[in-house]
Amino acid sequence: MSRKLAVAIGVFVTVMTLSAAPAMADVEAGFDAGSLPGTAQYMTGSGTLNNITGSLLANNDVDMYRICISNPGNFSASTLPTPANFVVDPQLFLFNASGYAVTGNDDFFGLQSNIPVGTIAAWPKGVYYLAVSSFNNDPLAFRPDGTLQGMFDGGPVYTPTPNRGPVQQWTDNGFAGATKKYRLTLSGVKRLSGTGACPV
């Protein structure tokens, strides 16, 4: 084989490999992602974000991620497929950039959760917060009278409860057990810029 032909084949293979590279996935960083917008893990980088893997370290652990939803009509989030030693009954909650309730889910596929495509089609592109908790560990926000109450109604896909402020804390009634894993499968999501902005 000639040197020129070998180089040409090498370039072709490299280009094809790069073009076929999957969308980037990410892993919960450090010890634990935070549970509120002020302590959420920023999912930064470039390109699309199709998966996030992490662990709930105790019954009342909540992991929240700051993400960029670039295509609300195609956005989805699911806890399937499950990893080994997975959270048996997870919940998903989505908040806007200010921490107000958008939607959520519990028990869409058996005990696993899913926010299906089309759920937030009417919402704008931009920064959102996606949280995962175990069953019965729900977000709380202030009502106009100053009391803390739940933020979501209905199911299996939740809708925001009227007259609630941004998320403040969680009910701490979870049943995850010690160090159970999850894998979030996403669509319609891009990574944030290095400053945490949404590149759309």
| pLDDT tens per residue, range 88-119 | 889 999 999 999 999 999 999 899 999 999 99
**Check whether domain 25-190 has CATH 2.60.120.380, yes or no:** yes
Backbone angles phi, psi at 38, to 5 degrees: -70, -20
27 half-sphere exposure, CB direction, 13 A CA radius: 4
pLDDT at 50: 96
Higher pLDDT, 14 or 151: 151
Q: At 173, is the pLDDT very low, low, confident or very high (cuts 50, 70, 90)?
A: confident
Identify whether the C-beta of residue 166 lies closer than 8 Å to the C-beta of residue 37. yes
Q: What percent of the chain has pLDDT over 90?
A: 66
pLDDT at 88: 85
- pLDDT value at 82 more than 90: no
Q: At 180, is the pLDDT very low, low, confident or very high (cuts 50, 70, 90)?
A: confident
- Find where tokens 């999501």 sit: 189
Q: How far apart are CA 21 and CA 3, in angstroms?
A: 27
Amino acid identity for residue 104 in this structure: G
